[in-house]
């Protein structure tokens, strides 16, 4: 998991994992956890090191328990001119080289975690066979393909986030969830 060096108002330096921010503002001093919601761990009487340890422990607990936050779009861009779902565009009409017949298809963007997305084309029909029913059937196939890709993306993102958390846990010597020290 990515960490960064943070120097707080007292001059102390801490290695802070991604997902935890320092808040030093007027009378508020503490570490804010920003993962599946926010929570402030105030320095209070315990000090910055203890509040950071508590925030880090909660971050590791949330990563182990919750799916990774999705970076995929949940709604179409407001600039999209069609009513098609996110990641699906078309119909694309083209005439292939050497053919006199035009055909149409939907284009589907398939996200892959840590890699470039794939593009797949779902055939609807030719100018002679295109019907609204064929369009709706192709759209249903495109939606199903996109949903499968999003689920695989989410599983891969969660697995990667949990592996990062395990590396952080080992680096700071935190006990594994359910383990005794």
Longest dimension (CA), the chain: 80
The sign of the dihedral angle between the CA atoms of 159, 167, 72, 107 is: negative
Return the domain boundaries, the chain.
Answer: 3-66, 88-158
Above 70 in pLDDT, residue 48? yes
Q: Is 167 exposed, middle or buried (0-12, 13-18, 19+ CB in 10 A)?
A: exposed
Angle at 36 between CA 32 and CA 39, to 5 degrees: 25
pLDDT tens string 56-108: 999 999 999 998 887 787 777 787 778 899 999 989 999 888 888 899 999 99
Q: What pLDDT was estimated at residue 178?
A: 52
Q: What pLDDT was estimated at residue 176?
A: 55
Q: What pLDDT was estimated at residue 83?
A: 86
Global pTM? Answer: 0.76
């Amino acid at each position: 998991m990515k960490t960064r060096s943070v120097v707080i108002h007292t001059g102390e330096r801490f290695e802070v994992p991604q997902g935890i921010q320092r808040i030093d503002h007027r009378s508020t001093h503490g570490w804010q956890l920003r993962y599946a919601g926010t929570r402030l761990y105030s320095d209070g009487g315990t000090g910055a090191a203890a509040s950071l340890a508590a925030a880090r422990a909660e971050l590791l607990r949330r990563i182990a328990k919750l799916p990774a936050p999705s970076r995929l779009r949940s709604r179409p861009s407001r600039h999209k001119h069609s009513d098609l779902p996110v990641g699906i565009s078309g119909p694309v009409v083209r005439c292939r080289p050497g053919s006199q017949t035009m055909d149409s298809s939907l284009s589907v963007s398939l996200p892959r975690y840590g890699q470039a997305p794939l593009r797949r084309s779902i055939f609807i029909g030719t100018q002679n066979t295109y019907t609204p029913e064929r369009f709706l059937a192709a759209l249903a196939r495109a939606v199903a393909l996109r949903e499968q890709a999003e689920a695989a993306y989410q599983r891969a993102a969660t697995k990667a986030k949990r592996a990062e958390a395990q590396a952080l846990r080992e680096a700071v010597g935190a006990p594994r969830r359910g383990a005794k020290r």
